Structures are given as C-alpha cells and as structure tokens.
Structure 1
Amino acid sequence: MNKYIAKTRILFLNMLRRDRLVWSLWIVAVVGFIVGLVPVFDNLLLAGEMDRLAMVEMMKNPAMIALVGPVYGEADYTLGAAFANYMLVFSLLIVGVMNVFLVTRHTRLEEDTGRMELLRALPVGRHANLMATALLTLSVNVLLAVILTVFLYLFRGQGMSMEGCVLFGVSMGVIGIFFAATTAFLSQIASNNRSALSMSILLLLILYVMRAVGDVWHESLALISPLGLILRTKIFVQDSWWPVLPIVALSLVFAGLTLFLSDKRDMGSGLLPEKAGREHGATWLSGPFGLAFKLTKNTIILWGVVIFMLAAMYGSVFGELDAYLSSNATIQAMIAMDPRFTPVEQFMVLLMMVMSIISTVPILALVNRISHEEKNGFLELMLCQPVSKTSMISSYLVLTLVTSVCYQFIAAFGLWSVGSMVLETTPTLTSFIVSAFLYLPAIWVIAGMLIVIIGFLPGKSAIIYYYLGYAIVVNYIGRLIKMPEWTRKLTSYGYIPQYPLEEISLSVHVGLLALFVLLCAVGFYGFRKRDILTK
C-alpha cells in the first residue's frame, strides 16, 4: 500500500504552501460574506413584526422555495431561522464551487500541463497526488467549518444557538467535502481539465435544480440531492444532525470510486472516449472569430440557460410583491420608493442591476479566454499562422459584445415572461429590455478593464474579479448598510440611471462608451507590444 501513496505528506505540504493565498482568500471571502450579513438581517429584516410576517409569506412563495428552500420555524421566525433560510443554500453553492476549483486545479490541470508526468518520474506513489489533494480539501473544509462556527457564534443574533452555529459550519464543511469527492471522481472520467470542470459545475447545477423541484413538488426528489438533504437539518429551528451522515457516507463512496478508477485509466486521458472530430472544419472556422466561438459556444449556451432560470425565478416573485414591498424595510432601503410608479417598476430597478452584475461574470470569462489560451501555449501556435495579435483579441471582444447583448435580452425576457404569468399588470417587454440594455456600457467598461490587465499584466487577470466583488458589495449590500454614494461611483454600475424611475442620461452612456473604447485601445496597445507568454 505504501508504494501507492509514497510521498503523500510532502505533496500535501507543498500544495498547502503553494495554494496558501488561494484557500485563505476563499475562506476569508466565504466567512466574511456569511457572517457579514448577520447584522444586516438583525438591523433590517426583522425590524418589526410586520417585516417578519411579510418575510414568512414571501418565503412560502413557490418561487422563493425553489430559490432558497422550504420555510422552517414559521411560527416563531427568529433571526436564526430567517438567516439559515435565506443564506444556507447560496452559501453551500459557493463552497461547492470552491471545492470544484481546488480539486481540478490539483488533478486534471496538473495532467494537462504536463506537471504530473514530471512528478510521476520521481519516486512518488500512483495515488499520492490524489491523496494529497484529498488531505488539502479536507483541511480547507474543516478549517472553514471551524472559523465559520466561531464567527457565527461571536456575531450571533436572536435564535442563533451554539449548536446551530456548529451545525451551520459542519454543513458547509460536509457539502464542501462531498463536492470535492465528486469532482475528483469526474476528473477520472473527463478527458481534460476543462471537461472535468464543466461536468462538476453541471452536477452542482443539476443537484440544485433537483432540490428546487423537490422542495416545491415532491420532497423525495429533494432528499436525493445533498443540497436538499442538508436543508433538513433545520438549522436554528430543530438542529437535526442526521442528514450529515448520509452525505459523509456518499462522499466516502465517491472517494473510493475515484481511487478505483484512477487505476483503470492512463495519465492524461479519461474513461469517456473523446468524440471524433470532423475530417474538415466548417468554412466559418477559418478565421479567429469562428475559432473563438467554437471554443466558447458551450459555455455561452450554459450561462444563457442559467441567466434565464435566475431571471424566471425572480420574475415569479412579482405576484407577492405589492404586500411585501409595503411592509419590508429592507427592500425599501435598497430601492427608491416612489408612489408615481408601480411596485414592479420599482423592484425591476433592483433586479436588473443584480442580473446585470451576474451577466458580467461569464462576459469576463469570455474575455479572459484569450489569456487562458496564452497561458497554455495555444495562442503562440495560432500566431504562427497569418493572424495578428489584434485580430485574435478583437475576435474575443466582438464575441463578448454580442454575447452581452444576448444575455441582457435573456434576463429581460425571463423577468417579463414569468412575471406576466403571475401578475396581470406588468411593465411592457420593451421597458424590461430598455432597463437591461442600459447596463451594457457598464458591463463593457468592466470588460475593457480586463483587456487592459491582459495587455499589461499577463497572468494577473484575477484582479478584475476582486473589482467585480467590490461592485457587488457596494451596489447591492451597500444599499442595505447605507454606504456613501461615492463608493458606488467607483464602479461603472453606479452611474446607470434607475430606469424607469429616472430619466435616461445620454451623457452618462456616451461617457461610459468612450471610456470603454479608451480602455480597449490601451489594452490592445499593451497586448500588441508585449511578448506572448510561453509554457
């Protein structure tokens, strides 16, 4: 047995040291996000009895149940019950994504880059890397659970017991370990890192949808999904521990299957056969734009589906909106209540801002794809052909612009189509589209910033995601905690007029478009003048 796991300890310590910034930032971000919202719930959501009753009714809406899960403890809806109801599912999704990236980073990515082959040439056991990755994810998830428990208890509010805080932290750690195990399993099946990453994220979404459908229509379906099963802990209400055990057992099963399959495949390949490609490519693939679209079309389609689903879920809330807005201080703090406009029109402002920020995530991923191709050495091969640097980055930029327009239309159509089903009088589709399209210059400015980073700071494109995180905090949470207006003006979203509550400002959009063009010009110049990174 020792020959299979030889040098595991050394590899584990190396991973721990090499990724210390990555996992530390993940833990700080997750704990800060969760614990930071406890005082917000305490100060705003449960400010009065009307707010509490309105919240319970809102959470019993089928759309909200699909979004965050069933309501527990509605007879005595304490801060703890409300907090767990609102936060648990989304927190679990974040931890799931964290573990997907951690595992693929140390398994299939190592094989795709050739580092695993060099490692295997040394006296290292066949399963040593897998075991070291398992130890890393186990350590990170346990540390996350402990830190989260401590800070939740320190900042606890009404109804947040010590046992509930511990169970919240343990639930996060257990779900993280589960997705680490499933990702390691899928990494044995997939043919490359990108496929392993896509399959793991797809599994996460499937389990989320299973939970949503099960919670609304058939509970047995929700119990099959670990994301639905863990909600049956009823944190801060009953604090049931039994759902933790099946998830731990399932994680061990996937871990065992991973070790078994690891013996059955060759390094650098997957158990699923790769689909044979065409003998001759299509004509539209002959240019850089066609190639960029071919490489990213699956991601574009997947994100389009996700954006529509989110928009549809938000749109289904419109039926309960009138009573909820009139009694909820939180939403009133986030939007400018104006009697001249309907509640849907006022709420649409907030939803469109949220959907626009969500749409920015895949847009940045599209722009960053050229950086990914450069890092893996593929861009160098493309530039050996009669193709310029400018045409390559321009292709991804044009694809980004077209995709952003499509995503904003999908978001607007999703909100309008489902909203009109649950509410007789809704704003016109044109109003939703105009409100969505007004955010396009703001999205493009963020994309332009990423182009500048790619042009002058190759390999540092992650910086833009920290900026996007700041934009989320100041434009969404910042409205709750009354952050100064100038903090929002440091982001492009802070300049967009709240249509239809405010008049459309042509000068603002012209200014943002001019800034976008300037950023692109600067980024193109830097990209054209610098050397291409080589492997």
Structure 2
Amino acid sequence: MSTAIKERAATRESASAGGGALAGTGTLVRFALRRDRVRLPVWVLALFLGTLSTASSFKTNYASAKERATVAETMDSAAGLAMTGPRHYLSDYTYGSMLGHQMLGFTAIMVGIMSVLTIARHTRTEEETNRAELVRSAVVGRHAYLAAALTVAVLANLVLALLMAAGLGGMGMEGIDGKGSLLYGLAHFAIGVFFAGVAAITVQISGHSRSASGMAMAVIGAAYALRASGDVGDGFLSWLSPIGWVQRTYVYVDNRWWPLLLTLAAAVVAAAAGFVLSTRRDVGAGLKAARLGSPHASPTLGTPLGFALRLHRGLLVAFGAAALLFGVMYGSILGDAENMIKEVDAFEKSIEGIGGQSVAESFASVVLIVISVVVSIYVVMAALRPRAEESAGRAEPLLSTGLSRSRWVLSHVIVAAAGGTVLLLVAGIGFGASGAGSTGDGGLFLKLVGASLAYAPALWVCIGVAVALFGWLPRASAVAWVLPVYGFLVGYLGQILQFPDALNNLSPFGHVPQLPAADMNWTPLLLLTLLAAGLVWLGLAGFRRRDLETK
C-alpha cells in the first residue's frame, strides 16, 4: 500500500513540475466544453441570429435615407441617447451606424452575462459542490480551474465575434462592410472577455456562486448606468464604463480600434487580479469571511419557509436594488417618450397597436415588459434553488428528517413567488414615482404601480415551469431559462420588429394586459395563475416519485 502511495505521489510531483500551477488545464477545458456543449452554442447562436435579424429589420423598416435621418433626429434626445449610445453615431446614420448605435450596448450586456455565468459555473460552483477539491487531489494545478474557465469564456466570445463578423459582412447592406463587421464582432469579444475577468475576481470574493454572479452582474448594471449617464451628459462618465469604451469604437462610422485595446488591457488586469486573489484563500472559501451568526437561531429559521427565505435573502436584496434602479431610470425618460418615437414608423406602429390615452402610457407598457423580464430572472434562479441544493448534497440531510419533499420544495416556491411580486412592486414604485415626475402627471404613479403587479401571474408561470422540470426532468432544469429570454425577444424586440402575434402568444408575458395603455382584463391573469398552480402541482408529483440525487 505504501509503495502505491509513493508511486502516485511521485507521479503527481512529476506532472506538477511539468505543468506547475496550470497542470491539467487542457483536460479541464475539454471537460468544461463537453459540459457546455448545449448551453454555450445556444447562447452564441441566439446572440448571432438576434443580431442578424435586427440588422435585416432595419432594411425593412427604414428603407430610405430620409427615414433613417428621421430616426437619427428622434434619437438625438436624452431618452434616446440613454437607451442606445453616444451621439456621434447619428452623424452618418447608415444601417451600420444604426446597428452599432442601437444594438452594441444591449448585446454587450448579454455577452457579459454569458461570460459571468460561464466563469462562475466552472469555478465557484465546482468548489461549492466539493467537486473541485476531489479533482484537485489529482494532478491539477492551483490555477487550472480558473485558467480553464477563462479559456472557455474566451473561446465562446471568439466564436461569437467571428460569426458576427462573417454574418454581417456577408449581408451586403448599405453601410455594413467587412472591416466594420470585423470590428463589431471583436467589440463583443473584448467586452465579453472583460466581464469574464470581472467574474474571475468576484468568484474569489464570495464563497457562493450565486453571490459571485450577482456581484459581477452588478458591475454590468453599473457599467450600463454609467454609459447611459455619460452619453446624456458630457461623456465623462461613459469613459468609466467598459460598455462606453466599446461603443466608442464608433463601428461603421469611424472604425476606431484602440478602445478595444483599452478593454482587453483591463480584461487582462482583472483576470490577473483573479489569479492573485485565488492564492489568498482556501479551496471552497471566499475572501469575504462568512459573518458569524447568532448563537441561537430565530424561531422562523427552524421552519422550512424561514430557512428558504434566509437562503434567498441576499439574491432578493440584490435584485430589489436592480429593479428599483431600472424603474427609476426608465421612468425618468417617460417625459421624452413622445419626442423619441415621433415620426419613427416602427415605433409608431408598435405604440398605435397598444393604444392608450397618451404616448407616455403606451411607452410605459412596453418598458414594463422589460422590467418584468428582469424580475423573471430572479424567480427562475429562486425556483431552481432546490435543484442546486439537491446537486450539492444539502437536500438529503434535510429530507432525512420529518420534513416532507413537498413542504421543502413549496418553501422555495413561496419565497420565489412572493419575492418576485415584491420586486415588481419595488420596480413599479420607482418607475411610477420617476415617471410621474418626468411627465408632470401625478396620477401616473398608481397606474404604473398597478400595471407592474399585473405581471405577477406571468412570473408564477415561470416558477411553475422550473418546478415541473425539476420534478420530472431535473437534468433539463436549465430549459426554464428559455421563458425569460423568449419573453424579452417577442415582448420587447418583437413589438418593434413587428413579429407575428402568434409568437407573442407562446410567452406568458404576452397574455398580460398591457397596462396602463390597455384595459384591465382579469381572465388571462386568472388562467395564468391556474396554469402556474397546475405546473407546480405537476412538479411536486414528479419529485415525490423520482429518486433523490445523493452524494
């Protein structure tokens, strides 16, 4: 036995000497790519096809130079610049500059989220589930996990960049040439790698993957807010945002490459900081020490619902701050809504189809779709928490007591449903207060608060789908993320790009009355609530019948 141990130790030392702290990185990269063989292609193809379809819609909706000039004039307002990008794009509003102006900032957020989730999944989640400790007991260097995760993120962003460059360059549209398309694609690569570097830091700070992802996404939100504030003002704040950097490539207008060097340099610094910080903590721990709790648990903590609320508390607070920020930010531009959409055919047709007593109300109904989709991200994460607890082996000890499976899952469902409703209320209050102030219409406050709460049944359907998948097909639980993504595509972009109504009917958000512009209709809300309850019941039935994943 001692001889075998000595031989394994000698083998480990020999391999470590050859690879050092990065030993085993290549194997981990191949393993990560295999695990993400569905997840990453879906992300990349969705962003790629979404970009191409948007560019194609520009040619359909704004066929003449006069129409594009009208759009440029409309976008040259505080509201337009805050939602899109810097004013310089408007100087020559071709299809290319229109794409860079209106889409680059939005897709930069999505690329950032893809990178953050990839890094967290292959680093902090591995430690949180104790798999990293097992793997690192073999011939794997200290930095191999982080290096492998960064490599996968870089490869995903590079593939996306090349697809965008080739796809846009081959469309043959006016103002979209090969050089600009290559820059457009590499801008996404640069911003994606930067946020991967940010995630490399946050996964060292927190001992939990959800907290680490939340911190990195907060950086994405702050970058977007700084960019919006800077583009409306003198531009200084935009230079504090990496999203502002890539937008200042002025793709298809000036085609400036040097902002990408700034973004990539910052990405290298962030990634290097992540490697340095990883040496200052133990495996499974975070730099931020866990706060010592009370020596005596509160009575509520001893209940399933109280314990679930404690687990979700940090995520709920983070999304509450984000929801309030989104509400206030969008409410502040309601006063400029009429000027922003005036004489823009695509916007006017969308608003006319909604109805409403004023343009502000019609525009607000579209914004509420975006806010509700942001909140749906929280409810899906919260509804899938039982799956994470089961995979980590923490569900088994709980369920070995007198706690039933149904009560355990329902505790998370109740927190997700109630938490999502509270987030809608918080966003509605911020949206209503800011919107009433920007329009001078005090009666708009209660209308927007009530309109935001109308989306609660749609959120509950998202929870029901997640629970049903968890109960019957736990390995396919990630499919629940299709609802928020699809809801945004058909609910927001679909109205601008004139998607068929049949596509909107496939989304739970598409059945919510578009308050405050439309009249209230309780029937679809009741049906959505019943559907959500049925899906939760179906998921509980499946969970009671299947085996529990054990460690």
TM-score by length of 2: 0.89
* Corresponding residue of 1:81: 97
* Corresponding residue of 1:235: 251
- State whether residues 59 and 70 of structure 1, in contact with CA within 8 Å, keep that contact through their aligned partners in structure 2: no
Aligned to 1:81, what secondary structure does the other structure show? helix
Aligned mate of 1:42, from 40, 59, 65: 59
Q: Which region of structure 1 is more displaced relative to structure 2, 70-79 or 86-95?
A: 70-79
In structure 2, what is the Cα distance between the partners aligned to 1:139 and 1:347? 39
How far off is 1:62 after superposition? 2.9
How far off is 1:248 after superposition? 1.9
1:55 maps to 2:71: yes
Aligned to 2:548, what secondary structure does the other structure show? coil
CA distance change for structure 1 residues 126 and 326 in 2, over 3 Å: closer, same or farther?
closer
Aligned to 2:314, what secondary structure does the other structure show? helix
- State whether residues 472 and 543 of structure 2, in contact with CA within 8 Å, keep that contact through their aligned partners in structure 1: yes
Q: Which region of structure 1 is more displaced relative to structure 2, 295-304 or 68-77?
A: 68-77
**For residue 87 of structure 2, what is the amino acid of its counterpart?**
V
In structure 2, what is the Cα distance between the partners aligned to 1:156 and 1:315? 38
How far off is 1:355 after superposition? 2.4
Aligned mate of 2:295, from 274, 279, 292: 279
1:16 maps to 2:33: yes
Q: Name the count of aligned residue pairs.
A: 534
How far off is 1:19 after superposition? 2.3
- State whether residues 390 and 524 of structure 1, in contact with CA within 8 Å, keep that contact through their aligned partners in structure 2: yes
CA distance change for structure 1 residues 165 and 340 in 2, over 3 Å: closer, same or farther?
closer
**For residue 107 of structure 2, what is the amino acid of its counterpart?**
S
In structure 1, what is the Cα distance between the partners aligned to 2:139 and 2:543? 42
CA distance change for structure 1 residues 273 and 324 in 2, over 3 Å: closer, same or farther?
closer
In structure 2, what is the Cα distance between the partners aligned to 1:346 and 1:48? 27
CA distance change for structure 1 residues 342 and 261 in 2, over 3 Å: closer, same or farther?
closer
In structure 1, what is the Cα distance between the partners aligned to 2:354 and 2:116? 44
In structure 2, what is the Cα distance between the partners aligned to 1:155 and 1:490? 30
- Residues 190-211 of structure 1 deviation map (CA, whole Å, 9 limit, x = unaligned): 3343333233222222333333
CA distance change for structure 1 residues 156 and 395 in 2, over 3 Å: closer, same or farther?
farther
1:99 maps to 2:110: no
Structure 1 residue runs of 5 or longer lacking an equivalent are none
CA distance change for structure 1 residues 249 and 480 in 2, over 3 Å: closer, same or farther?
closer
- State whether residues 63 and 313 of structure 1, in contact with CA within 8 Å, keep that contact through their aligned partners in structure 2: no
- State whether residues 108 and 187 of structure 1, in contact with CA within 8 Å, keep that contact through their aligned partners in structure 2: yes
- State whether residues 6 and 124 of structure 1, in contact with CA within 8 Å, keep that contact through their aligned partners in structure 2: yes
CA distance change for structure 1 residues 355 and 189 in 2, over 3 Å: closer, same or farther?
closer
Q: Which region of structure 1 is more displaced relative to structure 2, 251-260 or 362-371?
A: 251-260
- Residues 342-380 of structure 1 deviation map (CA, whole Å, 9 limit, x = unaligned): 222222332223322332221122211122212212122
- State whether residues 128 and 207 of structure 2, in contact with CA within 8 Å, keep that contact through their aligned partners in structure 1: no
**For residue 229 of structure 2, what is the amino acid of its counterpart?**
V
* Corresponding residue of 1:491: 507
Q: Which region of structure 1 is more displaced relative to structure 2, 58-67 or 376-385?
A: 58-67
CA distance change for structure 1 residues 238 and 433 in 2, over 3 Å: closer, same or farther?
same
1:245 maps to 2:261: yes
How far off is 1:48 after superposition? 5.3
- State whether residues 72 and 81 of structure 1, in contact with CA within 8 Å, keep that contact through their aligned partners in structure 2: no
1:28 maps to 2:48: no
1:288 maps to 2:304: yes
**For residue 368 of structure 1, what is the amino acid of its counterpart?**
L
In structure 1, what is the Cα distance between the partners aligned to 2:486 and 2:549? 29
In structure 1, what is the Cα distance between the partners aligned to 2:163 and 2:225? 29
How far off is 1:240 after superposition? 0.8
- State whether residues 81 and 236 of structure 1, in contact with CA within 8 Å, keep that contact through their aligned partners in structure 2: yes
CA distance change for structure 1 residues 266 and 174 in 2, over 3 Å: closer, same or farther?
same
Aligned mate of 1:308, from 312, 324, 336: 324
CA distance change for structure 1 residues 299 and 262 in 2, over 3 Å: closer, same or farther?
closer
Aligned mate of 1:179, from 195, 198, 215: 195
Q: 1:31-430 counterparts in 2 under 5 A?
A: 31-44=48-61, 46-47=62-63, 51-155=67-171, 157-217=173-233, 219-337=235-353, 341-425=357-441, 427-430=443-446
How far off is 1:162 after superposition? 1.8
- Residues 436-464 of structure 1 deviation map (CA, whole Å, 9 limit, x = unaligned): 23322222223222222222122322112
* Corresponding residue of 1:474: 490
**For residue 24 of structure 1, what is the amino acid of its counterpart?**
P
How far off is 1:501 after superposition? 4.5
**For residue 239 of structure 2, what is the amino acid of its counterpart?**
L
In structure 1, what is the Cα distance between the partners aligned to 2:368 and 2:411? 28
- State whether residues 68 and 89 of structure 1, in contact with CA within 8 Å, keep that contact through their aligned partners in structure 2: yes
Q: Which region of structure 1 is more displaced relative to structure 2, 298-307 or 253-262?
A: 253-262
Dislocated runs of 4+, deviation >4 Å: 47-51, 337-340
- State whether residues 461 and 508 of structure 2, in contact with CA within 8 Å, keep that contact through their aligned partners in structure 1: yes
- Residues 86-116 of structure 1 deviation map (CA, whole Å, 9 limit, x = unaligned): 1111111111111111112222222222222
CA distance change for structure 1 residues 493 and 186 in 2, over 3 Å: closer, same or farther?
closer
In structure 1, what is the Cα distance between the partners aligned to 2:384 and 2:177? 44
In structure 1, what is the Cα distance between the partners aligned to 2:150 and 2:377? 29
Q: 1:448-527 counterparts in 2 under 5 A?
A: 448-527=464-543
- Residues 251-289 of structure 1 deviation map (CA, whole Å, 9 limit, x = unaligned): 222333333333443322233333222222222212111
Q: Which region of structure 1 is more displaced relative to structure 2, 84-93 or 375-384?
A: 375-384
CA distance change for structure 1 residues 244 and 409 in 2, over 3 Å: closer, same or farther?
same
Aligned to 2:485, what secondary structure does the other structure show? helix
In structure 2, what is the Cα distance between the partners aligned to 1:357 and 1:18? 27
CA distance change for structure 1 residues 20 and 74 in 2, over 3 Å: closer, same or farther?
same
How far off is 1:54 after superposition? 4.7
- Residues 408-447 of structure 1 deviation map (CA, whole Å, 9 limit, x = unaligned): 2223322221122222346532322332233222222232
Q: Which region of structure 1 is more displaced relative to structure 2, 87-96 or 242-251?
A: 242-251
Structure 2 residue runs of 5 or longer lacking an equivalent are 1-16
- State whether residues 461 and 529 of structure 2, in contact with CA within 8 Å, keep that contact through their aligned partners in structure 1: yes
* Corresponding residue of 2:7: none
1:445 maps to 2:464: no
**For residue 452 of structure 2, what is the amino acid of its counterpart?**
A
Aligned to 1:327, what secondary structure does the other structure show? coil
In structure 2, what is the Cα distance between the partners aligned to 1:291 and 1:204? 30
1:6 maps to 2:23: yes
How far off is 1:243 after superposition? 1.0
CA distance change for structure 1 residues 413 and 287 in 2, over 3 Å: closer, same or farther?
same
- State whether residues 432 and 446 of structure 2, in contact with CA within 8 Å, keep that contact through their aligned partners in structure 1: no
Aligned to 1:143, what secondary structure does the other structure show? helix
In structure 2, what is the Cα distance between the partners aligned to 1:123 and 1:352? 51
CA distance change for structure 1 residues 501 and 187 in 2, over 3 Å: closer, same or farther?
closer
